[in-house]
Amino acid sequence: MSNKAFPYTPELKTFQSADDRWAEELQRKFGKDAGQARYEPRGKGEEGSELRRLHDLREAARSAWHLSA
């Protein structure tokens, strides 16, 4: 099924993968509080942390996806 609002592109696939990896790290670090942490500054992680690296990758993938639309 085609989604006209969000066409399935390589950029979307990359974003989804990056978002999944970031979500997994949020879950590992915050457990049941991961959903809330996602929307708070702590969800970005500290400079130099794996959480920050994954967050930054996610944001770069999101930007690339939006630019491709």
Instruction: Give residue-wise pLDDT tens across range 12-37.
Output: 999 999 999 999 999 999 999 999 99
Hey, which bits of 7-48 come out as E strands? none
Judged against a pLDDT cut of 70, whether residue 66 lies above it is answered with yes
Q: pTM of the predicted model, to two decimals?
A: 0.87
Q: What is the mean pLDDT of the chain?
A: 92
Q: What is the CA radius of gyration of the chain?
A: 13
Both tokens of residue 9?
């592109």
The sign of the CA dihedral 49, 51, 56, 57 is positive
